[in-house]
Structure formats: structure tokens, C-alpha cells
């Protein structure tokens, strides 16, 4: 499996990972009061579904960053289609090389992209860009039980060995200078209907499945779906809402 094949498989899909506009709106509803026109940073924006919801509901100037040009283009197109492009700046910028002014954001958002660095590194690296007392909200694959089934544990030990429970993630956040405000588990439909269904359709239609990299990527995605179908009640995506402590 290669990262290029993975990106290619996801090109043109509405989302890059589990999630839904309803869950984005639910997380926004749970935020504490923000300034009238908050400065927002959306990290790993992908095709921009959540970027548009953020701009539409919070009316803030929103910077969306990603490193894959087709996703950046899709995010721009989505913002135009929704009529919020005047609020959104899309930038080709890596989450581990951000050059923003320090303490410049009221809200950092990241759906399905924290795993690229891991919770600890992401929260450590991004904290300086939050204003004092500002908010970070992100989704992250999370164990929902202390004692997951052996096969699920084995699968994720290969795929994402640092996956932790919500309690452990919030404890990590605390040591890094955050206060946990709220969290909720994304519904299973955010995986199955919103993410896996379009992904399965894409896998059925892809013309380069004979390419060994693409074939391996498809096999891996099918295995991931199978594991979710069998053990999806032992792990899930959790939406975390944290505040930068003084
Ligand atoms: C699972 S997708 C989530 C996309 C989007 N937030 C969503 O939920 O649909 C992860 C995203 O992170 C982006 N990404 C990967 N490495 C990155 C990096 N170093 N800096 C910024 N974005 C990155 C990928 O291109 C991809 O769009």
C-alpha cells in the first residue's frame, strides 16, 4: 500500500474519513461561546465538508490546510458551491510546519487528521497557535472499551498502535495544557453511510485496480471495513472538545 494510492482512491469522495455534517454541527452546538467572528483553522481539511459547515455556522474567517492538491481544489470548489468562499482561505500547508502567527486562532478544528501526528504530538505542536483560553475540537479513532476483542486489538496494533481510550486521550491533553470540555461518539452511520459506502463504490469502479499498489490499498480498505463491521462497537471516532488552559 502506498500513500499515493490511498490519496488516489479517496479523490472525488465527499469525505476523507468517518464523519458527517450532522456531527460537525453537533460539535459546534457543544462549543462554549466564541467571539462574534472567530478566527478558525481547519487542519487536514480534505474535500472540505466540515470547512463549509464551520464557515456557514460560525461566520468566522476560516483557514483550511491540507497537503494534497486535489483535496485543496475540492475544498475550494465546495466553498464556492456553498457560497462561503469569501470566508475561507485554502492553503497547501503541512500540519507539522505551520507558519501562522502565534496565538492567532479562536478555534482549531481537525476531523480525521490528528492520527497523522498522533494525539500527543498534534496537541503539543498546535497549542501555540491557539489564543489563550481558545478551543480545539477534533475527531480521533478511540477505543470504546478497556478490553477490546483480540482480533480488533491485533488489527489496530498494526494500523494505529497508539489508539487510546477517551479517558487516556483526555489525560494526555491535560498534561499538555488543555482542559477537556466535552466529547461524544460519532454514530456508526458516520462510518458506514457517510464514508464506507462511497469508498466501496469507488473501489468497485476504480480502473487501476490491477496496479499492485492500488490492489494492496483496496485490500487494506476492505479489511478495515470488515473489522469495523465485526468489532465497530469496541472502537469508534470520538469528537473531543478541549480548551487551552492558562
Ligand atoms: C482522513 S482525511 C480527513 C479529511 C477531512 N477532514 C474529512 O473529514 O473529510 C485526512 C486528511 O489529512 C490530510 N493530510 C495528510 N497529511 C497531512 C499533513 N501533513 N498536513 C495537513 N494535512 C494532511 C490528507 O490529505 C487528508 O485530506
pTM over 0.85: yes
Contacts of 118 (CB under 8 A, 6+ apart): 162
Instruction: Give the pLDDT band of residue 1 (cuts 50, 70, 90).
Output: low
Distance 130 CA to ligand 1 centre (A): 20
Count CB atoms within 10 A of the CB of residue 205.
Answer: 8
- Rounded to 5 degrees, φ, ψ at 194 are -85, -30
Phi-psi region of 35 (alpha: psi -120 to 50; beta: other; left: phi over 0): beta
- How much of the chain, in percent, has pLDDT values that exceed 70? 99
Distance 72 CA to ligand 1 centre (A): 10
The full set of domain ranges for the chain reads 3-244
Q: pLDDT (tens digit, 9 = 90+) per residue, 51-62?
A: 999 999 999 999
DSSP 8-state secondary structure symbol assigned to residue 115: G
Q: pLDDT (tens digit, 9 = 90+) per residue, 111-157?
A: 999 999 999 999 999 999 999 999 999 999 999 999 999 999 999 99
Residue 64 has pLDDT above 80, yes or no: yes
Q: Is 109 in the pocket of ligand 1 (CB under 6 A)?
A: no
Residue 209 has pLDDT above 70, yes or no: no
Phi-psi region of 44 (alpha: psi -120 to 50; beta: other; left: phi over 0): left
The closest residue, in CA terms, to atom 11 on ligand 1 is 44
Give the C-alpha distances (Å, rounded to integers) separating 147 from 144, 164, 176: 9, 11, 26
Q: Which residues pair with 52 in a beta bridge?
A: none
Name the burial class of residue 200, with classes exposed (0-12), middle (13-18) and buried (19+) by CB atoms within 10 angstroms of its CB.
middle
Whole-number CA gyration radius for the chain: 18
Can you tell me the mean pLDDT for 193-217?
A: 88
| Contact (Cβ atoms closer than 8 angstroms) between residue 135 and residue 107 | yes
Contacts of 138 (CB under 8 A, 6+ apart): 108, 109, 110, 111, 113, 114, 122, 239, 240
Task: Give the three cell numbers for residue 91.
Answer: 492553503
Q: Identify which of 2, 40, 67 to mutate to test ligand 1's pocket (most ligand atoms within 8 A of the CB).
A: 67
- How much of the chain, in percent, has pLDDT values that exceed 90? 89
Q: Which CATH architecture has domain 3-244?
A: 3-Layer(aba) Sandwich (3.40)
d(CA 218, CA 38): 40
Q: pLDDT (tens digit, 9 = 90+) per residue, 169-180?
A: 999 999 999 999
> Mean pLDDT over all residues of the chain?
96
Amino acid at each position: 500500500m502506498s500513500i499515493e494510492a490511498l490519496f488516489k482512491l479517496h479523490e472525488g469522495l465527499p469525505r476523507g474519513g468517518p464523519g458527517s455534517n450532522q456531527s460537525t454541527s453537533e460539535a459546534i452546538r457543544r462549543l462554549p461561546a466564541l467571539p462574534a467572528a472567530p478566527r478558525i483553522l481547519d487542519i487536514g481539511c480534505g474535500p472540505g465538508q466540515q470547512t463549509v459547515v464551520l464557515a456557514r455556522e460560525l461566520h468566522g474567517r476560516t483557514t483550511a490546510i491540507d497537503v494534497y492538491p486535489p483535496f485543496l481544489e475540492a475544498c475550494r470548489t465546495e466553498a464556492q458551491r456553498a457560497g462561503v468562499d469569501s470566508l475561507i482561505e485554502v492553503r497547501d500547508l503541512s500540519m507539522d510546519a505551520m507558519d501562522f502567527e502565534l496565538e492567532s486562532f479562536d478555534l482549531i478544528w481537525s476531523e480525521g487528521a490528528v492520527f497523522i501526528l498522533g494525539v500527543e504530538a498534534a496537541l503539543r505542536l498546535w497549542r501555540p497557535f491557539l489564543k489563550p483560553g481558545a478551543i480545539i475540537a477534533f475527531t480521533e479513532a478511540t477505543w470504546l472499551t478497556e478490553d477490546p476483542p483480540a482480533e480488533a486489538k491485533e488489527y489496530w496494533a498494526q494500523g494505529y498502535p497508539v489508539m487510546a481510550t477517551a479517558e487516556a486521550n483526555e489525560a494526555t491533553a491535560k498534561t499538555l495544557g488543555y482542559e477537556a470540555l466535552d466529547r461524544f461518539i460519532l454514530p456508526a452511520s458516520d462510518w458506514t453511510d457517510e464514508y464506507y459506502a462511497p469508498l466501496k463504490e469507488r473501489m468497485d469502479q476504480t480502473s487501476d485496480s490491477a496496479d499492485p499498489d492500488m490492489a494492496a490499498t483496496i485490500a487494506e480498505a476492505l479489511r478495515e471495513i470488515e473489522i469495523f463491521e465485526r468489532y465497530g462497537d469496541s472502537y469508534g471516532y470520538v469528537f473531543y472538545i478541549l480548551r487551552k488552559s492558562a
